Chains A and B, each alone.
Chain A
Amino acid sequence: MFSFESYLDLPLIWLGLIGTAIFLYVLLDGFDLGIGVLFPFAPTDQCRDRMMNSIAPFWDANETWLVLGGGGLFAAFPLAYAILMPALYIPVIFMLLGLIFRGVAFEFRFKATRSRRLWDYSFHFGSLLAALMQGMILGAFVRGFQVQGRSFAGGSFDWLNAYSVMTGIALIFGYALLGATWLVMKTDGVTQEWARRSASCVLAYVGLFMVIVSISMPMMNADVKNLWFSMPMFFYLLPMPLVTAGLFIQIWRELRGTSEYRSFFLSLLVFLMGYIGLVVSLWPWLVPFSVTFRQAAAAGTSQSLLLVGTVIMLPVVLAYTAFCYYLFRGKASHEGAY
């Protein structure tokens, strides 16, 4: 049986890969879900058609990153998967239900005539529910889980508390920012004007929530506090909040200017900073604060087998994903679904 564990740090590589898959999911489905969140607030039905068309060719592949995140976690860190999924049973199920209503709306909406309104709301509330649940999962995750032996030992509603509600709402706003700036890039005219205004408005809330999360995390956990506020780590990590603040100011300026692309990519960077902040704070826990990524790692031979496939397939996947984005470049039209 082949295994690379003697000369590669497989758990670390896999943490990086799964982390990347989940982050790509957050970015890519983030703007899809954000568009769903903003959907009913658009000024006209024509805007809504345009919004939907701007993501229709991509949403399916975007959601596949979630399957890779989930499936990859099962493959590379089965213990973490086996503890987290029961612990997050209810929010995961509701997230899946939200994604169902969101996903089928793409296919059904353009085939509906009288019932189109129904699928508009299915799209909106599905996206809203999925975003809320993902944010609440994040909130529950940073507060940690009760574990006994190799399984979850807490209650069915441990994930539900004021903090997770706050992170849930925070992620809704975060996704709305990605969605709005995506629309600035992919649409023009009335839709773009409206997207610019919405993005500015949402941006303020995203900033507020990032401040709340950044202050609350060290307050809730002594290790996180020690990490961020001890010397010399304080100075090593200081650039992160400063860069993030700079990004917010720049997005604000870009939204007032004429640039169509920059606000979206800068918003992606805001998410990247937030994600790095979380990773740094929670290192090395994969099930906070009970199981590290090394403890949760699958057998070396299992991680090795999948690594071979990943090294070959991931560049291919990224290449044809890029090809699809290139193919459907330019402004989305309100007509021409398919």
Chain B
Amino acid sequence: MIENLDPVLLARIQFAFTISFHILFPAFTIGLASWLAVLEWRWLSAGESSYAQTYRMWVKIFAVTFGMGVVSGVVMSFQFGTNWSAFSDKAGNVLGPLLGYEVLTAFFLEASFLGVMLFGWNRVSPRMHFASTIVVAAGTVISAFWILSANSWMQTPQGYRIGEAGLFYPVNWLEVIFNPSFPYRFVHMVTAAYLTTAFVVGGIGAFYLARGRHHKCARVMFGMAMIMAIFVAPMQLLFGDMHGLNTLKHQPAKVAAMEGLWETTTGAPLNLFGWPDQEAEKTKYAIEIPKLSSLILTHDLNGKVVGLKAWPKEDRPPVWVVFWCFRIMVGLGVLMILTGLTALVLYLKKQLFEATWFHYWCMAMTPAGFLAVLAGWFVTEVGRQPYIIYGVMRATEAVSPVAASPIAMSVTAFVLTYGFIFGSGTYYILKLIRKGPDSEEEVYGAHGVKKPPLLTGLVSEEGGPHV
């Protein structure tokens, strides 16, 4: 039975599953690392102990998340070869060096200084510790730079030629690295990561505020998160719009799928909702806003927008996935902006830290960033199908000569393992959240730390087989 399954489909499922699982962790740690650096800076400069307590609570959560990100990331670096070997062979000349630079300039930096950040409390000066936090934060962004450059090249390839045996050869590295969609994707993703962190931190802060616990630390968390929601969420709308216009220029089929637009139309309406039917080649039950699509995409009420029928059926992406994921992403983005506006109004009315109903709302928004990031990646990755390198190489040409049954086995193993690991990780993070920041009395000593923070309270307090 397994032999009858399509190995290409299985390989796609495996890649989609493992990368979707993996992206959750960088989406959170990129923002969290930068925020921890800000917290430590405030702590060292203002000497306010609530910053220190907040830092020490979140650095534990950072460690758990980062650990899961590392182990799921190592898997990714091997999967190009195990599952997409024809792609690796052909595109290795172009993409290999980009991934190599990611390891050399980012992974070692993060991994080494994470050790100092977590274990170096009593071994380095506060300044050196702060520097380590900054280095880890920089490492996460550098890592995003290289991997997004590689991904963007697969979306908008340039600066290459195709040589013997169909191999890709780089012609101009600057064109490869700074390919047309890269700057937009990079800004959009890093901003998304910051917002993801902000809404998680804000949600947890709101939880403490609503429960009346850890008031000082909760204000730090919630206040700083709302600053992000007020200022960065609207900026993300702008970045997203620019990224969308860039996609329209280079991958118009993806935009047509996002819009659920089948016929090439002047003065195209915006399909607010609907059900794109791939077979019938139309979007059923559509709720339309006249001319809005043309206005957004061409900045002209009667601008021409190319529909999906302009491409042969076999060159179109699965439309409903792209269509719906796009709406989920934009919808969540709008909710984030509304959260920011509400926070601004409440702040001006001096009720931000008292309005319990709003704290409950922010608790509900805790996973918003993760969902938006996943939905956004589904839009961009499903939207470029059937290509692995847009317009040049199809996913079906990229796959490894591996039979269906080993891939079926590995998909199952990954689903079970990741389910178990993710469940456990979530459990331990919730445990850390339930416990909250350490109380103030424990803070003393040169660096505000008496004992290494994780042991403080956790193991020694709850006993267990530890010593």
Please, how many angstroms separate the alpha-carbon atoms of A104 and B64 in the complex? 8
Please, how many angstroms separate the alpha-carbon atoms of A299 and B163 in the complex? 11
Other-chain contact of B68, A70, A74, A104, A156 (Cβ < 8 Å) = A104
Q: Are A327 and B120 in contact (CB under 8 A)?
A: yes
**Residues of A contacting B413 in the complex (Cβ-Cβ under 8 angstroms):** 93-94, 97
Other-chain contact of B431, A72, A111, A306 (Cβ < 8 Å) = A111
Q: A64-B107, A64-B111, A107-B67 are in contact. Are A89 and B82 (CB under 8 A)?
A: yes
Please, how many angstroms separate the alpha-carbon atoms of A317 and B112 in the complex? 9
Please, how many angstroms separate the alpha-carbon atoms of A106 and B454 in the complex? 12
Q: Are B454 and A111 in contact (CB under 8 A)?
A: yes
Q: Are B458 and A68 in contact (CB under 8 A)?
A: no
Q: Are B102 and A71 in contact (CB under 8 A)?
A: yes
Per-position 1/0 for A99-124, Cβ under 8 A of B: 11101101110111110110000000
Please, how many angstroms separate the alpha-carbon atoms of A1 and B406 in the complex? 41
Q: Are B103 and A338 in contact (CB under 8 A)?
A: no
**Residues of A contacting B100 in the complex (Cβ-Cβ under 8 angstroms):** 68, 71-72, 74-76, 306, 309-310
Per-position 1/0 for B100-143, Cβ under 8 A of A: 11111101110111111011110110000000000000000000
Please, how many angstroms separate the alpha-carbon atoms of A299 and B432 in the complex? 49
Query: Which of A92, A306, A336, A337 is packed against the most chain B CB atoms within 10 Å?
Result: A337
**Residues of A contacting B16 in the complex (Cβ-Cβ under 8 angstroms):** none
**Residues of B contacting A49 in the complex (Cβ-Cβ under 8 angstroms):** 466-467
Per-position 1/0 for A68-88, Cβ under 8 A of B: 101110111011011111101
**Residues of A contacting B78 in the complex (Cβ-Cβ under 8 angstroms):** 70, 85, 92, 96
- Chain A nearest CB, measured from B109 CB (Å): 8
A190 contacts partner chain B, Cβ-Cβ < 8 Å: no
Closest to A86 in B: B400
Please, how many angstroms separate the alpha-carbon atoms of A75 and B92 in the complex? 6
**Residues of B contacting A302 in the complex (Cβ-Cβ under 8 angstroms):** 92-94, 96-97, 170
- Chain B nearest CB, measured from A99 CB (Å): 6
Please, how many angstroms separate the alpha-carbon atoms of A100 and B25 in the complex? 14
* B209-217, B245-253, B259-267, B417-425 - the one binding chain A: B417-425
B99 contacts partner chain A, Cβ-Cβ < 8 Å: yes
Please, how many angstroms separate the alpha-carbon atoms of A139 and B116 in the complex? 37
Q: Are A338 and B92 in contact (CB under 8 A)?
A: no
B72 contacts partner chain A, Cβ-Cβ < 8 Å: yes
B453 contacts partner chain A, Cβ-Cβ < 8 Å: yes
Q: Are A58 and B115 in contact (CB under 8 A)?
A: yes
Please, how many angstroms separate the alpha-carbon atoms of A108 and B64 in the complex? 7
B338 contacts partner chain A, Cβ-Cβ < 8 Å: no
Closest to A94 in B: B413
**Residues of B contacting A323 in the complex (Cβ-Cβ under 8 angstroms):** 112
Q: Are A78 and B88 in contact (CB under 8 A)?
A: yes
**Residues of A contacting B48 in the complex (Cβ-Cβ under 8 angstroms):** none
Q: Are A86 and B96 in contact (CB under 8 A)?
A: no
Per-position 1/0 for B396-410, Cβ under 8 A of A: 000011110110011
Q: Are A78 and B77 in contact (CB under 8 A)?
A: no
Please, how many angstroms separate the alpha-carbon atoms of A327 and B116 in the complex? 8
A265 contacts partner chain B, Cβ-Cβ < 8 Å: no
Interface range on chain A (Cβ under 8 Å from partner): 35 or more
- Chain A nearest CB, measured from B299 CB (Å): 38
Q: Are A153 and B401 in contact (CB under 8 A)?
A: yes
Other-chain contact of B77, A71, A107, A320, A336 (Cβ < 8 Å) = A71
Q: Are A116 and B424 in contact (CB under 8 A)?
A: no
Q: Are B421 and A100 in contact (CB under 8 A)?
A: yes
Q: Are B406 and A60 in contact (CB under 8 A)?
A: no
**Residues of B contacting A256 in the complex (Cβ-Cβ under 8 angstroms):** none
Q: Within residues 150 to 189 of chain A, which ones have a CB less than 8 A from any CB in chain B?
A: 150-153, 156
Q: A111-B64, A309-B100 are in contact. Are A99 and B74 (CB under 8 A)?
A: yes
Q: Are A113 and B96 in contact (CB under 8 A)?
A: no
- Chain A nearest CB, measured from B76 CB (Å): 9
Q: Are B74 and A96 in contact (CB under 8 A)?
A: yes
Q: Within residues 57 to 83 of chain B, which ones have a CB less than 8 A from any CB in chain A?
A: 60, 63-64, 67-68, 70-75, 77-78, 80-82
- Chain B nearest CB, measured from A299 CB (Å): 4
B465 contacts partner chain A, Cβ-Cβ < 8 Å: yes
Please, how many angstroms separate the alpha-carbon atoms of A335 and B103 in the complex? 32
Please, how many angstroms separate the alpha-carbon atoms of A110 and B451 in the complex? 14
**Residues of A contacting B81 in the complex (Cβ-Cβ under 8 angstroms):** 70, 74, 81-82, 84-86
A245 contacts partner chain B, Cβ-Cβ < 8 Å: no
**Residues of B contacting A61 in the complex (Cβ-Cβ under 8 angstroms):** 108, 111-112, 115
- Chain A nearest CB, measured from B78 CB (Å): 5
Q: Are A75 and B96 in contact (CB under 8 A)?
A: yes
Q: Are B417 and A97 in contact (CB under 8 A)?
A: yes
B172 contacts partner chain A, Cβ-Cβ < 8 Å: yes
Q: Are B71 and A103 in contact (CB under 8 A)?
A: yes
Please, how many angstroms separate the alpha-carbon atoms of A313 and B139 in the complex? 13
Per-position 1/0 for A45-77, Cβ under 8 A of B: 110010000001110110110111011101110
**Residues of A contacting B121 in the complex (Cβ-Cβ under 8 angstroms):** 338
Please, how many angstroms separate the alpha-carbon atoms of A57 and B114 in the complex? 8
Other-chain contact of B118, A57, A306, A327 (Cβ < 8 Å) = A57
What are 28 of the A-B contact pairs (CB < 8 Å)? A49-B467, A56-B119, A61-B112, A67-B77, A78-B88, A85-B81, A85-B85, A89-B410, A92-B82, A99-B71, A104-B421, A108-B425, A111-B431, A152-B400, A301-B169, A302-B96, A302-B97, A305-B97, A305-B173, A313-B108, A317-B108, A317-B112, A323-B112, A328-B123, A334-B467, A335-B455, A338-B118, A338-B453
| Closest CB pairs A-B (n = 5) | A78-B92, A85-B81, A75-B96, A57-B115, A82-B89
Given contacts A74-B80, A299-B169, A310-B104, 19 further A-B contacts (CB under 8 A): A1-B173, A61-B111, A67-B77, A67-B107, A81-B81, A81-B92, A82-B89, A85-B85, A96-B74, A104-B68, A106-B67, A111-B64, A111-B458, A116-B466, A151-B89, A152-B85, A302-B93, A310-B100, A321-B112
